[in-house]
């Protein structure tokens, strides 16, 4: 036997152990409940699609798994992508990285990360890109603009899907996340997959408008314009600045409202429906949260938005709100039913409680 091949397999095993130990090991730490809560939100985003379009995902999928690591922003490694740190093995399930200081369950940007995984698992990555390229070229006949929006396709998709998952609060949450100093927010970075932040919020506002939240859209645009009115606009190339008003509505229309073959000729807005009734329930849920109670009619993805509104109201301390929501979501994320023991075990006289997160890691559970 070639000893080099044996060594390679050992290295592979070591790397797999290292990656997954670092991720799963956190389930035995104080961060376990927050991670469990994030898992519950991620699974709910998949559930939303399974409810609206039951046959789109083929069978059961390993659910996304969240972990914490230093970083400015959350990030994700999609299912199936080849990881160099695993010597070219495919990533078996979506992994979502959350920065240590973002363990509170009202981050709209988390919905954005889940949406990247939805796009990949729905198999519309390429189809979405092609559609954006075609539409922008058709509408502008400008090759440079076409290339730029084509490169931005997945980030715009994730932003729009995040709004469908979380409603108006998700748009405000994303804007909050993107509200950096003008030198950063207005700077176009050639080759970047991320749209220039300044433009990105107008894309969010357009999505709100198309979903029927006209007033919120206007408000978001006004706030955003005021934030950057004294900034030097020349950081943004003229062709991007001048085309934005005309092009953004078309790109939003293409990504969210046009049918896709891999979605069974349905559009993104059909498979993640979001209605004014959902928005009203979230607003009512926010009020319930401020009284220290959980609005149990809200699915986890909508609870994110209700928590954001509750926080914004200032009527409940952040720590209390976070604990309330994390505890509830963590308890709700319990897909593995307890299996009754085959033989009856007499109870211990003084049972030692085992921390839940350590006792029952649920990360590898199958999402339905
Ligand atoms: Zn992204």
Residue 20 has what pLDDT? 86
| Share above pLDDT 90 across residues of the chain, in percent, rounded to a whole number | 70
Instruction: Answer yes or no: is pLDDT of 318 > 70.
Output: yes
- Tell me how far the alpha carbon of residue 61 lies from the centroid of ligand 1, in angstroms: 21
pLDDT of residue 34: 93
Least reliable range by pLDDT among 19-23, 102-106, 143-147, 348-352? 348-352
From the CA of 193, how far away is ligand 1's center (Å)?
A: 8
Distance 316 CA to ligand 1 centre (A): 30
Residues 6+ apart with CB under 8 A from 308: 106, 108, 169, 172, 173, 286
Find, among 147, 164, 189, the residue nearest to 266 by Cα: 164
Tokens 């897909």, residue? Answer: 335
* Ligand 1 centroid from CA 109, angstroms: 8
Instruction: Report the candidate in 131, 354, 334, 331 with the shortest Cα–Cα distance to residue 251.
Output: 131
Instruction: Answer yes or no: is pLDDT of 345 > 70.
Output: no
Q: List, as one string, the DSSP characters of 233-245.
A: GGGS-HHHHHHHH
Residue 182 within any structural domain of the chain:
yes
Nearest CA-CA partner of 200 in 184, 212, 214, 213: 184
Q: pLDDT tens across 269-311, in order?
A: 999 999 999 999 999 999 999 999 999 999 999 999 999 999 9
**Assigned domain for 62 exists:** yes
> Distance, CA 86 to ligand 1 centroid (Å)?
23
Closest C-alpha among 301, 294, 255 to residue 278: 301
Whole-number pLDDT of residue 335: 57
Q: Worst-scoring range by mean pLDDT, 82-91, 98-107, 126-135?
A: 82-91
What is the DSSP secondary-structure string of 218-270? HHHHHHHHHHTTTS-GGGS-HHHHHHHHHHHHHHHIIIIIS-BGGGTSB-HHH
Per-residue confidence (pLDDT) for residue 300, from 0 to 100: 96
Q: How far is the CA of 115 from the centre of ligand 1 (A)?
A: 8
> 4 vs 235, which has greater pLDDT?
4
CA of 75 to the centre of ligand 1 (A): 7
pLDDT of residue 92: 85
Instruction: Give domain status of residue 2, yes or no.
Output: no
Ligand 1 center from residue 112 Cα (angstroms): 6
For residue 137, the Cα-to-chain-centroid distance in whole angstroms is 29
Model confidence at 366: pLDDT above 60: no
Q: Give the distance (Å) from ligand 1 centre to CA of residue 351.
A: 46
Phi and psi at residue 324, to the nearest 5°? -60, -50
Least confident of 31-45, 73-87, 127-141, 206-220: 73-87
User: How many whole angstroms separate alpha carbon 149 and alpha carbon 154?
Assistant: 10
Q: Which whole number is the average pLDDT over 218-225?
A: 97
Least confident piece of the model among 50-54, 121-125, 249-253, 332-336:
332-336
Q: Which of 93 and 172 is assigned the larger pLDDT?
A: 172
Euclidean distance between CA atoms 281 and 292, whole angstroms: 17
The Å distance, Cα 96 to ligand 1 centre, comes to 11
Ligand 1 centre distance from Cα of residue 155 (Å): 5
Confidence of residue 111 (pLDDT cuts 50, 70, 90): very high
Q: How far is the CA of 196 from the centre of ligand 1 (A)?
A: 12
Centre of ligand 1 to C-alpha 74, Å, is 8
CA 287, 292, 294, 300 dihedral sign is: positive
pLDDT score, position 357: 41
Residue 4 lies in a domain: no
Ligand 1 centroid from CA 278, angstroms: 25
Confidence at residue 19, expressed as pLDDT on a 0 to 100 scale = 84
Judge whether 141 lies within some domain. yes
Which residues are CB-neighbours of 89 under 8 A, at least 6 positions away? 12, 16, 82, 83
Q: What is the pTM assigned to this prediction?
A: 0.87
Q: Given pLDDT bands bounded at 50, 70 and 90, which one contains residue 364?
A: very low
For the chain, give the mean pLDDT. Answer: 89
At 231 the pLDDT is 85
Distance 199 CA to ligand 1 centre (A): 15
Considering the domain boundaries, does residue 360 fall inside one? no
- Supply the range of the domain harboring residue 179: 10-22+29-337
In a domain, 69, yes or no: yes
Domain count, the chain: 1
The yes-or-no verdict on residue 360 having pLDDT over 50 is no
Is residue 343 a part of any domain in this protein? no
Ligand 1 centroid–CA 114 distance in Å is: 9
CA distance 166 to 304: 7
Beta bridge partners of 56: none
Ligand 1 centroid–CA 72 distance in Å is 13
CA of 156 to the centre of ligand 1 (A): 8
- Centre of ligand 1 to C-alpha 116, Å, is 7
What distance in angstroms lies between residue 39's CA and the mean position of ligand 1's atoms? 18
Which residue in the block uniquely carries the two structure tokens 């929006």?
149
Q: pLDDT category, 84, cuts 50, 70, 90? A: confident
pLDDT digits (tens, 9 = 90+) for 147-192: 999 999 999 999 999 999 999 999 999 999 999 999 999 999 999 9
């Amino acid at each position: 036997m070639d000893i080099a091949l044996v060594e390679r397999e050992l290295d592979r095993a070591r790397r797999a152990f290292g990656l997954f130990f670092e991720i799963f090991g956190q389930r035995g730490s104080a961060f376990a409940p927050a991670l469990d809560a994030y898992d519950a939100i991620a699974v709910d985003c998949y559930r939303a699609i399974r409810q609206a379009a039951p046959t789109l995902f083929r069978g059961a999928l390993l659910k996304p798994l969240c972990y914490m690591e230093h970083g400015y922003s959350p990030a994700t490694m999609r299912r199936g992508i080849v990881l160099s740190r695993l010597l070219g093995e495919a990533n078996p399930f979506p992994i979502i990285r959350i920065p240590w200081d973002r363990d509170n369950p009202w981050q709209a940007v988390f919905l954005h990360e889940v949406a990247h995984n939805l796009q990949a698992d729905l198999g519309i990555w390429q189809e979405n890109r092609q559609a954006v390229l075609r539409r922008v070229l058709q509408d502008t006949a400008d090759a440079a603009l076409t290339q730029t929006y084509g490169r931005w396709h997945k980030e715009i998709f994730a932003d729009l899907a995040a709004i469908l998952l979380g409603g108006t609060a998700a748009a405000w949450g994303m804007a909050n996340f993107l509200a950096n100093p003008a030198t950063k927010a207005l700077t176009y970075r050639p080759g970047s997959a991320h749209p220039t932040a300044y433009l990105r919020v107008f894309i969010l506002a357009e999505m709100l408008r198309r979903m029927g939240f006209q007033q919120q859209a206007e408000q978001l645009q006004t706030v955003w314009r005021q934030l950057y009115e004294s900034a030097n606009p020349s950081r943004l190339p003229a062709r991007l600045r001048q085309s934005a008003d005309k092009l953004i509505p078309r790109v939003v229309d293409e990504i969210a409202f046009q049918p896709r073959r891999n979605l069974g000729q349905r559009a993104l807005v059909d498979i993640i429906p979001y209605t004014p009734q959902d928005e009203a329930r979230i607003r009512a849920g926010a009020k319930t949260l401020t009284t220290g109670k959980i609005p149990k009619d809200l699915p986890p993805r909508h609870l994110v938005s209700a928590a954001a509104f509750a926080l914004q109201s200032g009527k409940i301390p952040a720590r209390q709100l976070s604990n309330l929501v994390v505890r509830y979501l963590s308890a709700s994320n319990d897909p593995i039913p307890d299996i009754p023991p085959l033989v009856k075990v007499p109870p211990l006289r003084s049972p030692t409680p085992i921390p839940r997160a350590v006792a029952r890691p649920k990360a590898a559970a199958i999402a339905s």
